[in-house]
Amino acid sequence: MTDSDEPALAVGADAFTQDGAGLEVAVVGAGAIGATTAYDLSRAGADVTLYDRKSIASGASGRAAGVCYNAFAAPLDAELGREAIERFRDLSGDDTFPFVECPYVWLAREGEPDRANAIRDQIERMQDNGTIALEADADALADRFPALYTDDVAVAGIAGAAGYTDPAAYTACLAAAANGAGATLEPNTPVEIRTDPSCVALEDGTEHAVDAVVVAAGAHTKQLLADAGISIAMKPYRVQALVARGDIDEPMCYDASGEFYLRPHPEGLLAGNGTEYDEADPDAYDREANPEFATGLLERVRHRLPDVDLDLERAWAGLCTATPDREPLVGELQPGLYVATGFQGHGFMRSPAIGARLATEVCGGDGIDAFDPTRFDGDESFEIIDGMAVDTER
C-alpha cells in the first residue's frame, strides 16, 4: 500500500487519548501483534518505528490459519477473546480486510469420557463468564450443521462469537494504518536489541535510541533476546496446515479427538494440526509440509465432512511458540523492554486485544499480570503441548 491508499480504520469508541505523546518506541516484528501494537501506539501519540527482518507478515502471521473465536473458559482469556472479536469486527471492511462471521464448534467423540466432560465443564465456565456458548449432542449438532458427520459425537460446544479472516491481509492493513497514523515502517531491516539504555542496532552499526523497545518477533523473539543476554522461557515449535478445494460454508470446527481443526476458505477449506513437539530452529525449519501430512489429515477431515469433495490444493508448515504454563509472555521484561510471544497458536486470533493492551502498558498503563514475562527465570525446562488440546486435567 502507498500513503494514498492506506486504510482509514474505524476508531469510534476505541479511539486512544494521547497517552503516548513524547514517547519514542521501536517495535521489532511486523507480524499481527507487532503491527497492531505499532498502530495503537501511533494512535496514542507515540513516535513509532516498526522493524522487520523481512517483509510485513513474512513470518508466522503470513502462515497462520486465521481462525478467530471466543471459546475460552478462563475469565481473562474470555475477556481478551471478546475484545479481539469486537475489534476484528470493527476494523474489518471492504477497504481494510475481510472478517467472515462463522460459528465455531469443538467436539469430543464417543468413548472419551474425560475429554467429553472437559468440554462440558468448559462450556459451563464460559457461560459463567457471560460468553455465549451452547452445549449440543450429536442430533442437535447434525440439525444445526448438516455438513458434519455426528454419529460418533459425544458432546460439542458451539460458540457464536467467532469468524475467520486472512491473517496476511489483516497484518498488512494494520501496518499501513500505523504508517498512516505516523509510524515509520522499516521492513527488510534486521536489528539487534540493546538495553540500558533501550535501543536497536542496525546492520550498519548505527543505533536508534528509544524510550521503549517492543519485541514481537514471533519464533525469533527468543534468539533476539538471547543475543542481548536475556533468556526467556519460550520454545518455537512446528505446525502444519493445508488448503483443499471443496464446498463448505460453516462451521469452523475443532475435532478434539481427531486432533485437527478446519474452517471455510475462499478456495474451499483450510485444515491443520501436525504439531511437532520438538523445539524448532526458526531460521532452519522445513517450511514444506511433511510428505504424509496432507494424506493423513484429509482422511480425518473426510470422516467429519463425508459429503464434501476435497482435493488438495497446497500444504505448508509454520511456527508457533510455547511456554511452560501455556500462557503467553506479554509485558515489560526489563525497564524499557517489552515482549509479546508464547501464544501456543492463539497469537493471531488475540492480536487485536494484545496489541491494544501492550500499547497501553508501554504508555504507562496497566499490563496483564497473568502474562507477566518475569514470572519465569528463563531457563525453565518444559515440554511442548499442543495449544488447542482440550484440558482433561481440571
List phi, psi (to 5°) of 234. Answer: -145, 145
Cβ atoms < 10 Å from Cβ of 3: 8
Mean pLDDT within 230-254:
97
Q: Give me the chain's average pLDDT, please.
A: 94
Predicted local confidence at residue 16, as pLDDT? 53
Q: Is the pLDDT of residue 394 over 80?
A: no
List phi, psi (to 5°) of 50. Answer: -105, 115
What's the distance, Cα to Cα, between the start and end of the chain in Å? 47
Whole-angstrom distance, CA of residue 100 vs CA of residue 163? 5
Q: Is the pLDDT of residue 192 over 90?
A: yes
Grid coordinates representing 163 are: 469468524
List phi, psi (to 5°) of 128. Answer: -60, -30
Predicted local confidence at residue 388, as pLDDT? 72
Mean pLDDT within 157-185:
97
Mean pLDDT within 136-155:
98
Mean pLDDT within 45-60:
97
Q: Is the pLDDT of residue 2 over 50?
A: no
Q: Is the pLDDT of residue 89 over 70?
A: yes
Grid coordinates representing 11 are: 476508531
Grid coordinates representing 331 are: 509485558
Q: How confident is the model at residue 392 (pLDDT cuts 50, 70, 90)?
A: low
Buried/exposed 97-121: b ≥16 CB within 10 Å, e otherwise: bbbbebbbbbbbbeebeebbbbbee
Mean pLDDT within 304-330:
97
SS3 223: helix
Cβ atoms < 10 Å from Cβ of 315: 22
Predicted local confidence at residue 387, as pLDDT? 75
Q: How confident is the model at residue 3 (pLDDT cuts 50, 70, 90)?
A: very low
- For the four alpha carbons of 124, 127, 133 and 136, in that order, the dihedral sign comes to positive
> pLDDT tens digit string along 204-226?
999 999 999 999 999 999 999 99
Q: How confident is the model at residue 90 (pLDDT cuts 50, 70, 90)?
A: very high
